[in-house]
């Protein structure tokens, strides 16, 4: 299974991010390109331990099952899943180039990640290994969403 901690995988994701442009449109979902980029940078900040979000009650009930579904195999993440409220981006305009650069910076930070374990707002306690799979799958999901 692919992980963000693999250099080749990070490079592949960065190449795909660089393919995004002002004309990229979503194949599904409600986010525009800027909202997706911002959403992904917020998610990466959470995985890297830069931001903490409160635990969602429903996640306490179903988080472990959802974790198995998300990282149990190589299948892409399902379309139109709900997201953590704090990383739902309402603003619909912003600097796309700057957000892409920041996302790439965050992806590269995984090479030296020291966040060994953290509390995911929905999934609960996540190990470093699990966060590597989640980071890849989340990024891949949104790049697929924008046909990249």
- Give, to the nearest 10 degrees, the angle between helix 128-145 and helix 7-19: 20
Q: Which domain holds residue 11?
A: 1-21+28-78+113-148
The model's pLDDT over 37-61, given as tens digits with 9 standing for 90+, comes to: 999 999 999 999 888 888 888 877 8
CA distance 84 to 88: 7
Residue 16 placed within a domain: yes
Count up the domains in the chain and report the number: 1
The model's pLDDT over 55-104, given as tens digits with 9 standing for 90+, comes to: 888 877 887 888 888 888 999 999 988 888 889 999 999 999 999 999 99
Task: Tell me, yes or no, if the pTM score tops 0.85.
Answer: yes
Residue 97 placed within a domain: no
Residue 85 placed within a domain: no
CA distance 86 to 38: 11
Residue 103 placed within a domain: no
Buried b (16+ CB within 10 A) or exposed e, 3-40: bbbeeebbebbbebbeebeeebeeeebebbbbbbbbbb
Residue 93 placed within a domain: no
Residue 88 placed within a domain: no
The conformational region for residue 76 under phi > 0 = left, psi -120 to 50 = alpha, else beta, is beta
Residue 2 placed within a domain: yes
What are 106's two structure tokens?
């965050």
What are 61's two structure tokens?
């009930």
Residue 126 placed within a domain: yes
């Amino acid at each position: 299974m692919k992980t963000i901690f693999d250099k080749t995988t990070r490079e592949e994701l960065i190449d795909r991010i660089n393919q995004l442009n002002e004309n990229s449109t979503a194949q599904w979902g409600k986010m525009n390109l800027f909202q997706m980029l911002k959403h992904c940078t917020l998610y990466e900040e959470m995985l890297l331990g830069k931001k903490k979000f409160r635990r969602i009650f429903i996640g306490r009930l179903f988080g472990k099952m959802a974790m198995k579904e998300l990282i149990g195999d190589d299948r892409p993440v399902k379309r139109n899943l709900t997201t953590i409220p704090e990383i739902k981006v309402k603003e619909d305009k912003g600097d796309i180039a700057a957000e892409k650069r920041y996302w790439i910076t965050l992806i590269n930070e995984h090479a030296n990640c020291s966040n060994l374990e953290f509390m995911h707002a929905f999934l609960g306690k996540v190990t470093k290994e699990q966060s590597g799979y989640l980071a890849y799958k989340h990024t891949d999901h949104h790049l697929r969403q924008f046909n990249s």
